């Protein structure tokens, strides 16, 4: 396969002072890099658009697994593509192999051979390998240890994590599964396609009332992708011994008045004591083995048809500069990727 001399990358043009829009990114034409020994040149086919990018744009982001992005630097994140060249001496991964890696947001990426994962032969949908919902799987199996018949609440149910979290909770034995979304237009899809028993849209009615109607006996397990008022309201409705897995913080991440790296919530700590509620944050690095276990189970569930993977693919890298804005506007359902 011939490789052109230049390729397109999405660079950070300016650090946004509020929510990021297309003006904060630019498409840059750059020379296609050459792989050194032990490296691969990958022609990307698809990459993930994810909320965590807002955090990576924040100058105030400290203590996160990746350093903040600076103007002029290319964005990065989960991607899937085809190996089109190897460095001098070749590599164990031959040209033509489909791989996933972390250098998305560009047409061509040079990646260390040890930093890619080959897409298993006959995989039902390689785009599924870009999903970050392993965090919800880890929170359900390692933090909250969901038990048969329990009632689960998933906040941010229409996002990339939430659209899978409710289904996974059910597959792991949940009794009742409730979700939240800001978008009334997504409620029916969450119920009909993904099996949520009830879906709550915050405002104008009090959130606590709506969450109570959705699960009158309260919640045993909460997978929280949003934080803020939703977390506060959900904690009020926990049952004795409830476990809360804090996976994300969309309300702070996409708050125009905040830097994207903080997400405050008011919590009645007496409730935690009185009801023996545990509140635990999820980080992938703390749970080695979850990623691989999730990949296998997710693939099996896709093959058996037990799980649906909703995603939207924007056509062309030209759509990428506006993609993060589309994400926080809630324009799409499920995981958002860009097709190159
Ligand atoms: N701990 C980990 O290892 C880990 C791994 C993966 C992801 N995460 C985090 O988990 C969270 C969810 O990720 P995701 O991939 O599901 O999100 P996503 O698909 O990247 O985000 C899209 C969703 O964000 C929602 N949204 C935007 N602004 C919001 C706000 N102010 N309040 C509530 N919802 C808002 C939209 O909601 P509507 O559709 O309802 O309008 C949309 O569905 C993020 O905070 C992400 O950073 C953590």
* Alpha helices in the chain, H assignment, sequence order: 52-56, 134-138, 162-171, 187-192, 207-214, 228-236, 250-253, 269-274, 290-304, 323-328
Tokens standing for residue 92: 């164990």
Does ligand 1 have an atom closer than 6 angstroms to the CB of 52? yes
Residues of the chain within CATH 3.40.50.720 domain(s) are 134-286
User: How many Å apart are CA 170 and CA 221, to the nearest integer?
Assistant: 12
Per the CB < 8 A criterion, the answer to whether 190 and 158 are in contact is: yes
Q: Of 45, 43, 36, which is closest to residue 86 (Cα–Cα)?
A: 36
Q: How many whole angstroms from 283 Cα to the centroid of ligand 1?
A: 15
Would you say domain 6-131+309-339 falls under CATH 3.60.150.10? no
User: How many Å apart are CA 127 and CA 121, to the nearest integer?
Assistant: 14
Q: How many whole angstroms from 246 Cα to the centroid of ligand 1?
A: 12
Phi first, then psi: what are they for 213, rounded to 5°? -60, -35
Per the CB < 8 A criterion, the answer to whether 140 and 168 are in contact is: yes
Does ligand 1 have an atom closer than 6 angstroms to the CB of 298? no
Per the CB < 8 A criterion, the answer to whether 3 and 42 are in contact is: no
Q: How many whole angstroms from 94 Cα to the centroid of ligand 1?
A: 36
The length of the chain in residues reads: 340
Regarding the domain with residue range 134-286, which homologous superfamily does it belong to in the CATH classification? NAD(P)-binding Rossmann-like Domain (3.40.50.720)
User: How many Å apart are CA 106 and CA 11, to the nearest integer?
Assistant: 9
Residues of the chain within CATH 3.90.180.10 domain(s) are 6-131+309-339
Does ligand 1 have an atom closer than 6 angstroms to the CB of 158? yes
Task: Judge residue 208's burial from the number of C-beta atoms within 10 Å of its C-beta, 0-12 exposed, 13-18 middle, 19 or more buried.
Answer: middle
User: How many Å apart are CA 336 and CA 159, to the nearest integer?
Assistant: 9
Does ligand 1 have an atom closer than 6 angstroms to the CB of 138? no
Pocket test for ligand 1, best of 20, 130, 182 (most atoms within 8 A of CB): 182
User: How many Å apart are CA 28 and CA 176, to the nearest integer?
Assistant: 48
Q: How many whole angstroms from 10 Cα to the centroid of ligand 1?
A: 21
- From the alpha carbon of 162, which atom of ligand 1 is closest? 16
Model confidence, pTM: 0.97
Q: What is the 3-state secondary structure (H, E, C) of 190-258?
A: HHHCCCCCEEECCCCCCHHHHHHHHCCCCEEEEEECCCHHHHHHHHHCEEEEEEEEECCCHHHHCCCCC
Ordered per-residue pLDDT tens for the chain, 340 residues: 689 999 999 999 999 999 999 999 999 999 999 999 999 999 999 999 999 999 998 877 777 777 789 999 999 999 999 999 999 987 889 999 999 999 999 999 999 999 999 999 999 999 999 999 999 999 999 999 999 999 999 999 999 999 999 999 999 999 999 999 999 999 999 999 999 999 999 999 999 999 999 999 999 999 999 999 999 999 999 999 999 999 999 999 999 999 999 999 999 999 999 999 999 999 999 999 999 999 999 999 999 999 999 999 999 999 999 999 999 999 999 999 999 9
Nearest CA to ligand 1 atom 31: 251
């Amino acid at each position: 396969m011939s490789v052109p001399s230049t390729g397109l990358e999405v660079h950070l043009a300016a650090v946004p002072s509020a929510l990021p829009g297309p003006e904060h990114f630019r498409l840059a034409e750059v020379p296609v890099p050459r792989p050194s020994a032990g490296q691969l040149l990958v022609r990307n086919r698809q990459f993930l658009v994810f909320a965590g990018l807002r955090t990576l744009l924040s100058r105030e982001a400290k203590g996160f697994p990746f350093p903040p992005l600076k103007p002029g630097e290319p964005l990065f994140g989960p991607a899937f593509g085809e190996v089109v060249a190897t460095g001098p001496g070749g590599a164990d991964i031959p040209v033509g192999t489909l791989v996933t890696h972390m250098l998305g947001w560009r047409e061509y990426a040079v990646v260390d051979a040890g930093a890619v994962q080959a897409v298993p032969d006959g995989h039902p949908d390689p785009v599924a390998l870009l999903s970050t919902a392993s965090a919800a799987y880890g929170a359900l199996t390692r933090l909250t240890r969901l038990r048969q018949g329990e009632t689960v609440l998933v906040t941010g149910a229409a996002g990339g994590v939430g659209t899978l979290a409710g289904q996974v909770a059910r597959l792991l034995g949940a009794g009742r599964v409730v979700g939240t979304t800001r978008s009334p237009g997504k409620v029916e899809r969450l119920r009909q396609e993904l099996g949520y028993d009830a879906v709550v849209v915050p405002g104008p009615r009090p959130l606590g009332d709506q969450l109570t109607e959705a699960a009158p006996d309260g919640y045993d397990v909460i997978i929280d992708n949003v934080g803020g008022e939703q977390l506060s309201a959900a904690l009020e409705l926990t049952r004795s011994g409830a476990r809360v897995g804090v996976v994300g913080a969309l309300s702070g991440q996409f708050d125009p008045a905040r830097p994207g790296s903080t997400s405050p919530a008011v919590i009645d700590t007496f409730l935690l004591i009185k009801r023996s509620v545990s509140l635990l944050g999820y980080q992938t690095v703390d749970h080695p083995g979850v990623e691989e276990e999730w990949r296998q189970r997710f693939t099996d569930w896709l093959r058996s048809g037990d799980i649906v993977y909703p995603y939207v693919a924007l056509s062309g890298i030209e759509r990428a500069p506006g993609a993060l804005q589309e994400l926080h506007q809630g324009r799409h359902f499920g995981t958002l990727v860009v097709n190159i």
